[in-house]
Amino acid sequence: MFTELKDYWNRKSPQAKAIRITVLGSLIMGLWLTAGPKPAVCAPSQESGAPVPAVGSPAMPGSFADLAEKLSPSVVNVKVTRVEKATMQGVPVPDGPFGEFFERRFRDLPQSPRNHQVQGAGSGVIISHDGTLLTNNHVVEDAKEVTVTLADQREFKAQIVGRDPKTDLAVLKIDAGEPLPAATLGNSEQLKVGEWVLAIGNPFGLSHTVTSGIVSAKGRIIGAGPYDDFIQTDASINPGNSGGPLYNMQGELVGINTAIVPNAQGIGFAIPVNTAKPLIPQLVATGEVTRGYLGVNIQPITPELASALQLKDMEGALVADVVPGSPADKAGIKRGDVILAYNNKPVKESRDLPSMVAGTPVGDEAGITVLRDGKESQLSAKIAKLRSEETGSEEPGQAAKGKWGLALQDVVADLPIEPHQVAVDRQTLDAELGIDLPVRRRLLGRGQAWFELGPLGRPCPLGPLPRDQGGLRPAVRVAGGR
């Protein structure tokens, strides 16, 4: 067969000549298409006005290499030395009155030194060319000595300028003898969920480790303190990253890496840089943070409370109690009020209010919008100084479960019922006050068992229900003389 094809190819007939030209033309065209420029690929069509994200933008990062190289010099390794009291060898010393007895009984036994040094490590970020650094309070707390290692491996002894345990922030200072590369503070309020971020730190002592991820959530409350407002990220954060920076794709510092969920993967938390911004000048100037104090205990508004209080939505902070003699008390704020705005800023959730009050300079007059009996009122409070032992909102204590089937707070047995209170039982709730079972179940939630009857006769939760002790019964506070 191949012989026949060869003979046909070599023929000089017009048909054979045409076939040869066609085959050679196809070969040349194929070679040109293979070696020549590639045709452009059409991008998917987008709506008008929606540009395609550029490589390296927050929406579509290309390589992190240039950003990591630029930002790494502003990140430091923080090594601390603490002195801890050693327990007796093999015999732990208990707390309380028996501790001294155990120590006397076993003090002659062979034991390790009474005090020993413990070393720890974390991360930090330079925020000023003069050597001012920002890190976590828990990294340097109780430290006797702090050593900072720069990206070029130079080491310096650091001074603890100021600490704020409530936000877990601390400011350090080193003297490098020359200006140092410093991070640019960004705006964490502008961060969006899904935006790319970069974490740099020293996990497990591995200096200047760079990891990337996205903003998984904002405004997380993890129980770390009264001013929780964390950025959640899936950028890898491990022990040793604490105090290190979280950068956005513009190279701006947007958070301080602080905590992780130990048994999870890709769940880390950072303090927003906007939380640190107003605190840094105070920590540098005085070594501590002075916060404003209003004097109210608040609680969030749940759907059940919104329905019971006849509210349009669940925005605001419900005043559960007012501290006597506090700025709130003097301003006329009462239990059952709903604080809607503070200094013309809306209070979307109850957790917004403590930070707003804390950031108010002591002595300033704060305008407060409250909702009472369906009507808005404008009040003014002169903000006082928050003492160190106060947190701005009272935390619930350990509850005891009584015969009412509720988690109840302990009270003193001889606590009297105030004259304007009446003691009632379950039947009275139904018959005399007209509160049916479904409503009662909603009202008698955790920490919501006292309620007040306002002018409209609606129940308003105020605080925890006393345990049935010493002849006391659940009390319903009645307003308006009923």
Catalytic center residues = 138, 168, 242
Q: What single DSSP character describes residue 266?
A: S
The answer to whether the beta carbons of residues 58 and 248 sit under 8 Å apart is yes
Rounded to 5°, the CA angle 384-388-394 comes to 80
The answer to whether the beta carbons of residues 174 and 131 sit under 8 Å apart is yes
291 residue type, one letter: R
Alpha-helix residue ranges (DSSP H) falling in 247-351: 273-276, 279-286, 303-308, 327-331
Q: How far is CA 349 from CA 167, 231, 240, 451, in A?
A: 19, 17, 33, 21
Question: How many other β-carbons are positioned within 10 Å of the β-carbon of residue 472?
Answer: 17
Rounded Cα–Cα distance for residues 482 and 480 (Å): 6
Partner residues linked to 475 by β-bridges: 423
Check the CA dihedral 296-302-306-312 and report its sign: positive
Three-state secondary structure call for residue 189:
helix
Contacts of 63 (CB under 8 A, 6+ apart): 56
Rounded Cα–Cα distance for residues 344 and 174 (Å): 41
Closest CA to 153 of 210, 257, 79: 79
Three-state secondary structure call for residue 8:
helix
Partner residues linked to 217 by β-bridges: 232
Quickly list DSSP for 64-116. Answer: SHHHHHHHGGGEEEEEEEEEEEPPBTTBPPPSSTTHHHHHHHHTTS----SEE
Phi, psi for 253 (deg, rounded to 5): -75, 120
Question: Which helix (H) or strand (E) segment is 12 a member of?
Answer: none
Partner residues linked to 173 by β-bridges: 132, 159
Token pair listed for 48: 């008008």
Token pair listed for 432: 């005399």
Closest CA to 258 of 284, 290, 233: 233
